[in-house]
Structure 1
Amino acid sequence: MQPDSDIPPSHDNVQPGELPPVFPPSNPPSTGIPPLLMADSPAPLPSQPHRKSGSAGGTLANFLSLCLGLFLADGVVSLLDESLILLFDVHLLGAIRGILLLFTVLLAIVIHGMMGLTPMIPKRLFLPVTLFIPLAGLATIPLLIYHHTRTHEIAWGISLCQVILGLGILHRVQHGWRFRWPFVAESRLEPRRFAWRNLIGFALAHVFLGLPAILVYLVVCAVLAVDHFTDGFLALRSEGLTVRVRKYVRDDGRTIQLFPMAHIGEPDFYRKLSESFPTNSIVLMEGVTDNGQLLTNKITYKRMATSLGLAEQQKEFKPQGKIVRADLDVGQFAPTTIDFLNLVMLVQNQGMNDQVIQNLLRFSTPDFERHFFDDLLGKRNRHLLNEIQIWLPKSDLIIVPWGAAHMPEIGREIQKSGFHLTETQEYVAIRFRSLGNKGRSIAGPGDSGSPK
């Protein structure tokens, strides 16, 4: 078959010396899209700051991880210790608990201070850690005021909250229930190492928010404590410490007045009280005698009164009426109570030293505390109540100017015997004032002695 003359000859059979025609290279159409990189040209990686394991960020991450670990360990050990005490009355972990608490507090103080110096520390995570122990201590105050016999239950609850908080923060920084060291990754830290705004804001928040709030809170707690532990016989007012004199009357007209006293106070306070006593009243005076000379040193409040610009009760309080000694003798106290009183008076006269501290530790047992408070309050109150019953048939008016600590029990007992509270008067015993006004009288606006 003859080839078709219209079909051009193939170039597959190129004869030597013959070359195919060369066409000029054609440019691709312009689309505005940059040309793709060649396969042998890898794409450049974004530049990242090179972090070494020994950098400041890594050290800080380890430091924060240690703080979080100690915080959680302290909570777990405290919770276990309180559980053993409550369930089995077993005290095994006290030493370990004390050591953990010490290092946890020290580390928390350091990290809290570092938060003001550097914004690298995540405050949302570590402010609760560094503030938990002091805030828990503050929250404990009102609980102890109203439930002071349940200290272990309160401590158990605080320890449980500490464990829950520690586990919650650990779960957040680890993104789950994984325990990898360091607990706090370096990527959790802020890149900035210092910022004036952080330092100034941190300082202002502590000075103008934190400290005033703590002071107000402590004042409120003090007011609650004074009112609760004295059953309302003492009160903290804006003008000072006030005492509430209560008048109790029985159906037959017999009257008992309870005057809460303080060992030191304003001179006019004692004089006003003395002048208010009717001359026909029986005054059952407080004052432990020492006929056997068992006390080695005399108890005096002169130094305290002088330093505060106040007066001693025994010098300024001269009541009218028939004075009756209605207190016990030192010989009726337990021997351990007498030894402790002598040691306290030795400290008052000579100050503290190593030997005194060792001797004081001997009186830290629960049995001693129970006997001591029974001697100072219980026995004396029972003796006073007996004296009241002796003198009631002999007088229509019995006045009891005793220490404020005695008043709650005395008030409850005389009400049980048929007396009813009919009147209350307030007297300012110690006025809050500047040192330049130490000699100011308690008289004035809102003066004491007004019936309530």
Structure 2
Amino acid sequence: MALAIYGLMGLTPMIPKRVFLPVTLFNPAAGLVSLPFLIYSYSRIQQVAWVISFGQVIFCLSILYRLQGGFRFRWPLVAESQLAARRFSWLNLSVFLLLNVCVLLPVAVVYLFLCAALAVDHFSEGFAALRPGGLTVRVRKYVRNDGKTIQLVPMSHVGESDFYRTLSQSFPTNAVILMEGVTDNRHLLTNRISYKRMASSLGVTEQVDEFKPSREQLVRADVDVEQFATSTIDFLNGVTLVYSSGLNAGNVLKLMRYSPPPDFEQNLIEDLLRKRNRRLLEEIQAQLPQSENIIVPWGVAHMPEIAKEIRRSGFRLEKTQEYVAIRFRSGGNKGKGPRKEGDHGRLDVITFVVTLGP
């Protein structure tokens, strides 16, 4: 209804904009204002919703008071004398379209992009950043007093080919690389995970095709699928089905029929994130006595907890290097390797690929 009234305000000057424009824009504006609370204070989102609802009631009462000339109710709510005489005006329509296309829409897009950038930075704890030129990751090097180093390298399943090549070439020859990658020794997953569709749509490559560090340095530091809860395995089979064969009617029907158990969310986070982090931390501790340099090229979602734990072990941040993982395509944005200041391009697509699955 609000959308219809908003459109009618552009078609006819009869509708008093000073009354109906605030009414129609209240909910979209409230939704936009609530985005930072979703990012930084999600646990208090219920209180935010109450405040918005209370504000909506007060706002509507003030509009009603203005229309009725006091707190009394009579029909119609908007008297005929309050409507404009003309039913259509090209000037009204032109100004309406110009304001929406040239002001409201660009402001909304910029605001949403800023909120997305804040969300990426907040939830990754600074390991990833959304720039006008692309999605960047920050490689952090930690050092201990005895000279041993741990390098946390945030990864994504898809990215620029030069991003993967530059990372591979930057690793010291004497480093041990603790690789991510859930195994499936008992073949519990019914479909193979592939990111080719995503990579093709973004014009980038898959990590498995381009990220090729020296094999002599590689150590597997992940878990096997059989260590996951049954509900997690069922969920992964549904996700891999979509990845392998696409989102068609049959797959949508199967996903709709899936009924997760009550503890599904807890098991999912435990299996895909915490359990794998514990396994990685165990391998880090096992490698530290005989390794001077340890490199951890894992998904962005794993990095905050891993960084927290290695700091507890006496490591401190020594260096941060930023790389462009996914570049928003433009004709002049062809730079390679670490991001340089001023390297921006036209925004074609926004994506934040987090390595969570096997």
Q: TM-score by structure 2 length?
A: 0.90
Q: Who is 2:222 aligned against?
A: 327
Select 2:235's aligned residue among 306, 327, 340: 340
Asked if 2 retains the 8 angstrom alpha-carbon contact of 1:266 and 1:441, the reply is no
**Residue 191, structure 1, aligned to residue 89, structure 2:** no
Contact 1:427 / 1:447 at 8 angstroms: preserved in 2? no
Whole-angstrom CA distance in 1 between matches of 2:319 and 2:45: 36
Q: Residue 430 of structure 1: SS of its match in structure 2?
A: strand
The structural deviation recorded for 1:149 is: 2.4
1:295-306 to 2 correspondences below 5 Å: 295-306=189-200
Q: Of residues 314, 322, 325 in structure 2, which corresponds to 1:429?
A: 325
Contact kept in structure 2, 1:431 and 1:442, CA below 8 Å: no
How far 1:239 moved relative to its partner? 2.4
> Does the 8 Å contact 2:166/2:337 carry over to 1?
no
CA separation in 2, counterparts of 1:357 and 1:123?
A: 45
Contact 1:109-1:130 at 8 Å conserved across structures? yes
**1:343 maps to amino acid:** G
**Deviation of residue 319 (structure 1)?**
1.1
How far does residue 366 in structure 1 lie from its aligned partner after superposition?
6.2
Aligned-residue offset at 1:218: 1.1
Q: Work out which of the residue numbers 250, 257, 264 in structure 2 matches 1:359.
A: 257
5 Å-filtered alignment, 1:392-403, equals 392-403=288-299
Distance 1:437 1:331 in 2: 47
Which residue identity does 1:413 align to in structure 2? E
Alignment of 1:381 onto 2:277: yes
Q: Which residue of 2 aligns with 1:248?
A: 142
Secondary structure at the aligned position of 1:293 is classed as: coil
Quote the sequence identity (%): 61
Matches of 1:109 and 1:143 in 2, distance apart?
25
Counterpart Cα distance in 2 of 1:232 and 1:173: 50
Q: Do residues 309 (structure 1) and 203 (structure 2) align? A: yes
Q: SS in structure 1 opposite 2:42?
A: coil
Mapped to 1, the partners of 2:332 and 2:195 lie a distance apart of: 21
Q: How far apart are 1:118 and its partner, in Å?
A: 1.0
Q: Which amino acid aligns with 2:222?
A: D
Unaligned runs of 5+ in 1: 1-106
Provide the residue aligned with 2:309 in structure 1: 413
In structure 2, C-alpha distance between the alignment counterparts of 1:347 and 1:424, rounded to whole Å? 37
Letter in 2 for 1:402: W
Q: Report deviation, 1:238.
A: 2.9
2:134 paired with 1:236: no
1:418 partner SS: coil
Distance in 2, Cα, partners of 1:184 & 1:367: 52
For 1:135, the equivalent position in structure 2 comes to 29
Deviation at 1:197, TM superposition (A): 1.7
Q: Where in structure 2 are the equivalents of 1:51-450 lying within 5 Å?
A: 107-320=1-214, 322-348=217-243, 349-353=245-249, 355-360=253-258, 362-363=259-260, 367-434=263-330, 440=334, 442-443=336-337, 446=340
Counterparts of 2:165 and 2:313, CA distance in 1: 31
- One-letter amino acid matched to 1:150: R
CA contact (8 A) 1:282 1:322 kept: yes
Conserved? CA contact 1:246–1:421, under 8 Å: yes
Q: Distance in 2 between matches of 1:381 and 1:205?
A: 50
Could you give the per-residue CA deviations for residues 8-54 of structure 1, whole angstroms, max 9, x where no partner exists? xxxxxxxxxxxxxxxxxxxxxxxxxxxxxxxxxxxxxxxxxxxxxxx
Larger radius of gyration: 1
Q: Across the two proteins, how many residue pairs are aligned to each other? A: 338
Distance 2:132 2:159 in 1: 16
Single out whichever of 293-302 and 367-376 deviates more from structure 2: 367-376
**Structure 2 residue matching 1:149: 3-state secondary structure:** helix
Quote the offset at 1:350 in angstroms: 4.1
Structure 2: gaps of 5 or more residues = 343-358
Q: How far, CA to CA, are the matches of 1:326 and 1:254 in structure 2? A: 19
Q: Is the 8 A contact 1:243 1:427 kept in 2?
A: yes
The separation in 2 between residues aligned to 1:218 and 1:441, in whole angstroms, is: 26
Contact kept? 2:168, 2:213, Cα under 8 Å: yes
Letter in 1 for 2:132: S
